[in-house]
Structure 1
Amino acid sequence: MRLAILTCLVAAGALCAHAAPASAGIKVLVRERTYDITGTTGKALVEAMDRKGPKQGFMTRAIAQTGYVANWDINISREDGVCRLRQADGTLEITYTFPHMASAITPALQKRWKRFFAGTRAHEHTHGRIAREMMRATGKSITGLAFADNLLCSRTRREAKRRISAIYAEYEAKQNAFDAREHRDGGHVEHLVNALIRKR
């Protein structure tokens, strides 16, 4: 499960006759949060995650969650009537939230928990990978942006924002499609939960 926010700051720089070529830089910051669960059976652990997991909407909770915020700081300058994107710096802040085992459990349950947690982590990290791909695609989309424009570079600023929003929408659709596959009946998440609950 994932939450996402996109922000964009587009700044028009002063006239510059010797501006550097357009470029895009991306920085990724990753944080991890946990919430404690306890239980002596797989069923009890699932119930604990249902009670204490990160909120998903108003009424439900998720087992784990990937939240990210994408920020773009864009500098545009004007020369000879043409506005050009001179620099685009993107920052992606990813926050993963995972359950943390806070009680002693049997070796058999520990083995099932490790498999469950590895699958859960892989799911959330896929959300993070898609978000990173979104940032790279955005940088590629806006690099080289240039238009004949007014003194405020209004058209160029609007186009930069439009392209960023379009890439964001495209990759949000990919995030939703991934979740739909993973959470469908009989899907990967159901198998992970069933394997944790089952005694072997």
Structure 2
Amino acid sequence: MWPTSLAILAAAGVLFCGAASAGTKLTVHVRTYDVAGRTGAELIEAMDGLGPRHGHATRAIAETGYTVHWQLDVKRDNGICRLRQADGTIDLTYTFPRRTSPSSPALSRRWDRFMAGVRQHEHTHGRIAKQMMRATETALAGLELQDNWFCTGLRWDARRRIDTIYADYEAKQNAFDVSEHRDGGHVEHLVMALIKP
């Protein structure tokens, strides 16, 4: 198996409490890095040397990174703290290789099929992250608690719910990668289809 792998890098979710803006927001960024090669094997070797870092010793073909922020609008009335609105922001960044060298029509077709599979893999990570945001919105809806003047307990409960859902969805991200990276799995098929003449 080639040391290069498709990978996910997920940054820790951060909870911000303060004035809320309207609605949950999604921003998407796409970054590329250049690779060159006359054969599929040379392109794989270039990705292995230039792709985004995945751990200390390996690099990934592509990567999905994201950060999550939540702003909570909390109001206290008659001793009851209520979460009036929870606005989430998810910032998704996809990193993909970009072939810069000329190639034969056959290699171009194999590259296009390879990249379609790579994009599908990374966009699945993006969909799982967006599902996490929806699950968090549902978990926070209607949250209220008899609490102190600073609504400390309610804010702690909101953070606990956010962290629990985040952990659940990180487990889903990891399970997806385990399935895709198994011997004979989707990633291996993508790589071998690019390499074969």
AA in 2 matched with 1:74: L
Q: CA deviation at 1:2?
A: 1.4
Show the counterpart of 1:9: 16
Q: Which residue of 1 aligns with 2:3?
A: none
Greater than 4 Å deviation, 4+ residue runs: none
3-state SS in 2 of match to 1:96: strand
* In 1, Cα distance between equivalents of 2:39 and 2:157: 55
Shift of 1:25: 2.6
Contact 1:24 1:90 in 2 (8 A): no
How far apart, in 2, do the equivalents of 1:36 and 1:64 lie?
12
**One-letter code aligned to 1:85:** L
SS in 2 for 1:47: helix
Q: TM-score, normalised by structure 1?
A: 0.92
Q: 2:130 aligns with which of 129, 132, 135?
A: 132
Pick aligned residue for 1:47 from 42, 45, 48: 45
What is aligned with 1:183?
Answer: 181
The one-letter code sitting in structure 2 at the alignment partner of 1:8 is L
Report the aligned-residue RMSD. 1.3
Aligned to 2:154: 156
Matches within 5 A, 1:1-200: 1-5=7-11, 6-11=13-18, 25-199=23-197
Equivalent residue letter for 2:17: V
> What SS does the corresponding residue of 2:90 show, helix, strand or coil?
strand
Q: Please report how far the alpha carbon of residue 154 of structure 1 lies from its aligned counterpart in structure 2 after TM superposition.
A: 1.1
How far off its partner does 1:24 sit?
A: 7.8
Distance in structure 2 (CA, Å) of the matches to 1:24 and 1:134: 19
Q: Which amino acid aligns with 1:35?
A: Y
Unaligned runs of at least 5 residues, structure 2? 1-6
CA distance in 2, matches of 1:159, 1:173: 21
CA drift of 1:10 comes to 2.3
Aligned residues: 189
Cα deviation code 1:141-166 (max 9, x no counterpart): 00100001111111101000000000
Q: Please state how far the C-alpha of 1:57 moved relative to its aligned partner.
A: 1.2
